[in-house]
Chains A and B, each alone.
Chain A
Amino acid sequence: MSKLLLDRLKAQFGDSVLETSSFRGDDVAVLDPKVWRAAATFLRDDPRCACDYFVDLSVVDFPDLDESTGRFEVYLIVHSVAKKHRVRLKARLKEASADLDSVSSVYGGADWAEREAFDMFGVRFNGHPDLRRILMYEEFSGYPLRKDYPANKAQPLIEYREGTHDKLGPFLEDEGMPFDRSPVDPKNFSH
């Protein structure tokens, strides 16, 4: 795979391309978040790039890197159907300033992907037309795919019934109820 796309990006954005790598055909460019939308627009509109197909946008959380480069690594993968090449753009964000320009005006497919990234990681996308939670409910607080979200913390919308416990199954003395267990017992008529 040629590094055409990376060379084009470097020629266009210069120092705003922080680093590039190319491993077995996977071209990756880490960008300054300031040029995020401009780079997406450039990849779509430049005739030699012609990246007309949005593949994916999501976030990876590296909590240990928040001091140095920023914990959230937003990535965007775009592909050119005609030229059969693809590139992955990355932007690193610190938790204190976890916002990024939305590319949903450039790639329509990024709309729901950005909503999901916001829902799961709390990265805010400036200029998104409708930045709401997409999978979780509005009452949910916190961002469940952040590494510091407690792994089994649930936020139920309903009040659990009495006598039930988290993860304690019903499988106690009633496990394997035999047929014809007992004669009719008026005590058992209702719940």
Chain B
Amino acid sequence: MGDVIMGGGESGVFTTKFDALLGWARKFSLFQYPFVTACCGMEFMAAAGPKYDIARFGAEAPRFSPRQSDLLWVVGTVSQRQAPALRRIYEQMLEPKWVMSFGTCASCGGFYDNYATLPGIDKAIPVDVYIPGCPPRPEAVLDGLMLLMDKIGRCDRTPAVLKNTALPEGVPDKLEQLYQIRMKGKAPVTNEE
């Protein structure tokens, strides 16, 4: 971060750098408001638990009032009937505020193409990061959170969709090696009785 804070110096650049400094400060201090409506909530609980340790990103403290929070997690299917409530919650949050769309249903309605379901929360409120998955794994959630922090640091408010990433090269082989070490001396696992 040193170059961001120290660099520049030409006229007109300072404002940008100051925003970058603000963004850098903000991105490690996210107070989340979980708007949990459906089965994605289970995966959200897993991601928010100690095993995945969301506290590493400074985003572990849930506030159960939108007026005390700046990151809205929309977790699960939102029905047409809930949409006014969701918009009202968003409007109660103080600037600067960000929205994470957790899972396919919140992002685009998922497979609910019917009379009851809002086809994506972006019909009601602006969204910063979409995390695809049904539900997304905690790793994907943390990836989405890191993408959001990256965006906050860059002062970028355009919507972003989390990329579906493959395992890095060599990791599958390493996993296979670990599996072989662990299973050494044990009977092989088969599907037969």
Cβ–Cβ contact A170 & B108, under 8 A: yes
User: Beyond A136-B81, A156-B80, A156-B83, is A161–B115 a contact (Cβ under 8 Å)?
Assistant: no
Give the chain B neighbours of A161 by CB distance below 8 A: 122-126
| Contact (Cβ within 8 A) B163 A167 | no
Given A167-B109, A180-B154, A184-B16, does the pair A174, B159 have CB atoms closer than 8 Å?
yes
Chain A residue, CB-CB nearest to B16: A184
Q: Which of B84, B126, B161 contacts A177 (CB 8 A)?
A: B161
Q: Which residue of A lies closest to B88 (CB)?
A: A158
Q: Say whether, besides A155-B80, A161-B124, A177-B160, A167 and B115 are in contact (CB < 8 Å).
A: no
Determine if A188 and B155 form an interchain contact, defined as CB atoms under 8 angstroms apart. yes
Number of A interface residues, CB 8 Å? 38
Given A156-B83, A182-B156, also A170-B122 (CB < 8 A) = yes
Count of chain A to chain B residue pairs whose CB atoms are closer than 8 Å in the complex:
115
What is the 8 Å Cβ interface bit string for chain A, positions 168-180, against chain B (1 contact, 0 not)?
0111001111111
Bitwise, A133-146 to B at CB < 8 A (1) or not (0) is 00111000000100
Interface size for B (C-beta < 8 A) is: 42
Are the CB atoms of B80 and A154 closer together than 8 Å?
Answer: yes
Residues of chain A lying within 8 A (CB to CB) of residue B127: 170
Q: Which chain B positions have C-beta within 8 A of A181?
A: 154, 156
Contact of A188 among B113, B147, B158 (CB under 8 A): B158
Q: 1/0 per residue B85-96: CB within 8 Å of A?
A: 001000000000
What 1/0 mask marks residues of chain A from 97 to 127 whose CB sits below 8 Å from any chain B CB?
0000000000000000000000000000000
B107 CB-CB contact with A under 8 Å: yes
Nearest first, the 9 closest Cβ-Cβ pairs linking A and B are A176-B163, A177-B160, A169-B108, A144-B115, A160-B123, A191-B126, A188-B156, A175-B161, A158-B83
Can you list 22 contacts pairing A with B, beta carbon distance less than 8 Å? A136-B81, A137-B80, A149-B115, A156-B83, A158-B83, A158-B123, A164-B123, A170-B127, A170-B130, A170-B161, A174-B159, A174-B160, A177-B161, A178-B163, A179-B147, A179-B150, A181-B156, A183-B154, A184-B155, A185-B155, A188-B157, A191-B126
